[in-house]
């Protein structure tokens, strides 16, 4: 899906030249990228000053487009470069929108201006869209610069690459892989974890062949964060940067946070042009994807992720690994235990929802399912969501009635919305 913006309004208004993000260039402060672009059309310092001091970008543009004023020779040949330079400085010097631009991942950017077929998409939506193209180039450039900044700061230091507490496969393997990548740049990187109370321990134990360091004293060390991280006790000034697939770490500088299926997959996309991933590393990255997407079924596993996952070209047999490693409800535990293991209360349009989530593979699920349904009245539960991974079916049991959900999901919010649509709630 493309990112579309129209003028300086809406979610992506920050992409527009009129948006109020100023920057310095050659010692001069420009209130917007528009001011910069229009001023650059002229050699005459008086006109330039008039434009730079214009109260709004619209006024700057009006002066700049005044055909009675003499423009630079050959400005036409320079204008793309001028625009690129201004937009680049705007994003370089405003970290909050730099992060937002980076968050748009690799999506196409389109300026939806029907009056402009050169900078925008034009009346037939097939214009040259140079503004969108420049923004995409700037996005690549600032991403590169953030990475370079992290690498620069890491030079001559011992750097601990670390994920979240109770690390899962994505956290552990991302830390390991980024450690390898940093080492290839000559950086003294340490594969580290905050603790080794691993989640999905069996998967980690079976594939982890390297030693890690457990770090719980965060003073006097330099860190690079990966996966679901927040500072969580690490002094901000000790963090050189963060590469994460969730947009949460806003507190630190040198941030690359983009929604990807897993942090491992983000690392792969960021470095695949510059780092030669071994077969083993590709496999570990594949495992981070499996683990973070409930073995490729969750909606988080988007189209772009699917392409990248394919590109990894691993020898993983997803079905086999799912059976072996994916932890669904353990039916050797008591029904009562399982009902309360994944239990949550929701308040939805005045209804008190007490929901339990059970996950299974198809083998024998019917028998388990009917046993659990019989037991439900003995427990304080009114909504049971039962996800069967083999048949990818979601059964919803609410107040004595069963509904088969139209697609596979573990999301209670989606189920509640569905029940509302069906006029059950
Ligand atoms: Mn993750």
Task: Give the pLDDT of the chain (425 residues) as one tens digit per residue.
Answer: 799 998 888 899 999 999 999 999 999 999 999 999 999 999 999 999 999 999 999 999 999 999 999 999 999 999 999 999 999 999 999 999 999 999 999 999 999 988 889 999 999 899 999 999 999 999 999 999 999 999 999 998 999 999 999 999 999 999 999 999 999 999 999 999 999 999 899 999 999 999 999 999 999 999 999 997 788 889 999 999 999 998 766 678 899 999 999 999 999 999 999 999 999 999 999 999 999 998 998 878 999 999 999 999 999 999 899 888 988 898 999 999 999 988 989 999 899 999 999 999 867 788 899 999 999 989 999 999 999 988 888 999 999 899 998 888 888 888 999 999 988 88
Query: Which run of H or E residues covers position 304?
Result: helix 303-312
- Residue 116: DSSP 8-state: -
Same domain, residue pair 262 and 394: no
Query: Phi/psi at 223 (nearest 5 deg)?
Result: -125, 150
CA dist 242 to 55, 100, 102, 115, 353, Å?
38, 15, 13, 40, 38
Q: How many other β-carbons are positioned within 10 Å of the β-carbon of residue 302?
A: 16
d(C-alpha 173, C-alpha 198), whole Å? 12
Centre of ligand 1 from the C-alpha of residue 292, in Å: 6
Residue 220 structural domain: 155-323
The residue among 121, 142, 163 that closes a domain is 142
Q: Is residue 147 part of a domain?
A: no
Query: Phi/psi at 355 (nearest 5 deg)?
Result: -110, 140
Query: Phi/psi at 46 (nearest 5 deg)?
Result: -70, -45
d(C-alpha 251, C-alpha 108), whole Å? 28
Q: Looking at residue 351, what is its pLDDT?
A: 93
Q: How many CA atoms lie within 13 A of 244 on its CB side?
A: 25
Give the count of domains, the chain: 3
Given the structure tokens 């905050």, which residue do they identify?
A: 194
Same domain, residue pair 42 and 73: yes
Q: Is residue 149 part of a domain?
A: no
Same domain, residue pair 298 and 340: no
Q: Is residue 126 part of a domain?
A: yes
Centre of ligand 1 from the C-alpha of residue 327, in Å: 16
Centre of ligand 1 from the C-alpha of residue 325, in Å: 16
Q: Looking at residue 249, what is its pLDDT?
A: 60
Q: Looking at residue 386, what is its pLDDT?
A: 95
Q: Is residue 289 part of a domain?
A: yes
Same domain, residue pair 112 and 178: no
CA 109 to chain centre: 17
DSSP states along 123-162: TTT-S--HHHHHHHHHHHHHHHHHHHHHHHHHTTSEEEEE
Question: Strand pairing of 401-404 and 393-398?
Answer: antiparallel
Q: Is residue 135 part of a domain?
A: yes
Centre of ligand 1 from the C-alpha of residue 173, in Å: 10
- Residue 71: DSSP 8-state: P
Same domain, residue pair 164 and 311: yes
Same domain, residue pair 173 and 34: no
Centre of ligand 1 from the C-alpha of residue 33, in Å: 36
Same domain, residue pair 96 and 38: yes
> What are the tokens at 239?
């963090």
Residues having C-beta closer than 5 Å to ion ligand 1 = 170, 227, 263, 292
3-state SS, residue 218: coil
Same domain, residue pair 128 and 187: no
Same domain, residue pair 138 and 165: no
CATH number at residue 92: 1.10.357.40
Q: Is residue 217 part of a domain?
A: yes
Spatial CB neighbours of 58, under 8 Å, sequence gap ≥ 6? 18
On the 0-12 / 13-18 / 19+ scale of CB atoms within 10 A, 344 is: exposed
Same domain, residue pair 230 and 260: yes
Q: Is residue 96 part of a domain?
A: yes
pTM: 0.84
Same domain, residue pair 319 and 358: no
CATH number at residue 171: 3.90.1640.10
Give the residue among 227, 211, 324 at the shortest CA–CA distance from 266: 227
CA 67 to chain centre: 45
The residue among 323, 351, 372 that closes a domain is 323
Centre of ligand 1 from the C-alpha of residue 81, in Å: 39
The residue among 96, 115, 142 that closes a domain is 142
d(C-alpha 237, C-alpha 262), whole Å? 26
> What are the tokens at 174?
């991302």
Same domain, residue pair 256 and 387: no
3-state SS, residue 273: coil
Sign of CA dihedral 40, 42, 45, 50: negative
Given the structure tokens 């006097």, which residue do they identify?
A: 220
Contact 25, 86 (CB under 8 A): yes
d(C-alpha 246, C-alpha 228), whole Å? 6
Centre of ligand 1 from the C-alpha of residue 66, in Å: 53
Centre of ligand 1 from the C-alpha of residue 137, in Å: 28
Q: Is residue 328 part of a domain?
A: no
Centre of ligand 1 from the C-alpha of residue 220, in Å: 27
Centre of ligand 1 from the C-alpha of residue 171, in Å: 6
Contact 223, 234 (CB under 8 A): yes
> What are the tokens at 335?
């029904």
Centre of ligand 1 from the C-alpha of residue 294, in Å: 11
């Amino acid at each position: 899906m493309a990112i579309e913006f129209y003028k300086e309004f809406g979610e992506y208004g920050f992409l527009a030249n009129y948006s109020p993000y100023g920057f310095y260039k050659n010692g001069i402060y420009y209130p917007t990228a528009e001011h910069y672009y229009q001023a650059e059309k002229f050699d005459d310092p008086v006109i330039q000053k008039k434009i730079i001091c214009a109260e709004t970008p619209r006024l700057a543009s009006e002066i700049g487009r005044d055909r009675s004023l003499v423009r630079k020779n050959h400005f036409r040949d320079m204008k793309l470069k001028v625009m690129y330079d201004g937009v680049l400085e705007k994003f370089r010097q405003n970290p909050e929108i730099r992060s937002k631009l980076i968050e748009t991942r690799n999506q196409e950017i389109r300026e939806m201006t029907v009056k402009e077929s050169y900078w925008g998409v034009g009346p037939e939506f097939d214009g040259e869209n140079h503004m969108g193209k420049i923004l995409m180039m700037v996005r690549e450039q600032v991403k590169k610069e953030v990475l370079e900044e992290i690498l620069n700061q890491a030079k001559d230091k011992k750097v601990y690459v670390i994920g979240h507490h109770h690390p899962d496969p994505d956290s552990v393997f991302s830390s390991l892989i980024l450690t390898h990548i940093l080492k290839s740049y000559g950086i003294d990187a340490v594969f580290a974890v905050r603790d080794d109370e691993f989640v999905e321990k069996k998967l980690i134990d079976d594939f982890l062949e390297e030693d890690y360091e457990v770090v719980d004293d965060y003073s006097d060390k330099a860190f690079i964060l990966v996966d679901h991280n927040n500072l969580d006790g690490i002094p901000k000034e000790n963090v050189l940067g963060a590469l994460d697939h969730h947009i949460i770490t806003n507190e630190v500088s040198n941030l690359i946070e983009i929604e990807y299926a897993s942090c491992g997959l983000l690392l792969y996309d960021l470095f695949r042009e510059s780092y030669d991933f071994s077969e083993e590393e590709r496999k570990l990255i594949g495992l981070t994807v499996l683990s973070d997407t409930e073995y490729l079924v969750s909606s988080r596993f988007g189209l772009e992720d699917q392409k990248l996952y394919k590109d990894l070209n691993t020898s993983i047999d997803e079905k086999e690994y799912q059976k072996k490693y994916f932890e669904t409800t353990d039916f050797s535990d008591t029904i009562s235990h399982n009902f309360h293991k994944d239990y949550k209360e929701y308040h939805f349009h005045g209804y008190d929802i007490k929901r339990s989530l059970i996950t299974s593979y198809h083998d024998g699920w019917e028998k388990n399912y009917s046993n659990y349904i019989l037991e439900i009245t003995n427990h304080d539960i009114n909504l049971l969501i039962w996800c069967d991974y083999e048949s990818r079916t979601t059964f919803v049991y609410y107040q004595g009635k069963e509904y088969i959900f139209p697609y596979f999901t573990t999301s209670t919010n989606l189920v509640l919305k569905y029940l509302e649509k069906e006029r059950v709630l």
